[in-house]
Amino acid sequence: MSEVTSLQQVERPQLQRHLVQHSDAQHLLIIDGVVVPCTPTEYDLLLPLLKRAGEPVSFSRLLGMQRQKTLTRGIRRGLTQQMSRLRARLWPFGLDILCLNSYGYLLLSRSNEHVEEI
């Protein structure tokens, strides 16, 4: 049986009214009491976006790359696919991930829209 670790809370104004908790040890993400399934890679991509919600996060920061390294077409395509899956998981919570074409990604709350029932 795996050991339960304490959860850390993400507090950002952009996450308006959402309780976002995570556990790095277990790659666990909980939004408003609902476990959001993520692979370890998806979790590693999503956490910087959540911690900086409302602020752009560069491709290199998301991927843990040094700025000198080139973001190849293959890496970018894989990142786009992973972000698409994450976007679908966050959408019911009223959260969205926007692509900033030449820079990175931005996580925002869709506060003015109807949020789907989970």
**Could you tell me if 109 and 103 are in contact, meaning their C-beta atoms sit under 8 angstroms apart?**
no
Could you tell me the CATH number of the domain that includes residue 29?
Answer: 1.10.10.10
Q: Is residue 118 part of a domain?
A: no
Please check the confidence at residue 61 and state whether its pLDDT lies above 50.
yes
- Domain count for the chain, please give it: 1
Q: Which domain holds residue 71?
A: 8-109
User: Does the pLDDT of residue 1 top 50, yes or no?
Assistant: no
Asked if residue 83 lies in contact with residue 43, where contact means CB atoms within 8 angstroms, the answer is no
19 within a domain of the structure (yes/no): yes
Residue 83 covered by a domain: yes
Q: Is residue 116 part of a domain?
A: no
The number of beta carbons lying within 10 Å of the beta carbon of residue 110 is 14
Q: What is the pLDDT of residue 4?
A: 53
Looking at every residue in the chain, the average pLDDT score rounds to 84
- Do 103 and 59 meet the contact criterion of CB atoms below 8 Å apart? yes
pLDDT in tens, 7-60: 888 888 778 788 889 988 888 899 999 999 888 999 999 999 999 999 999 988
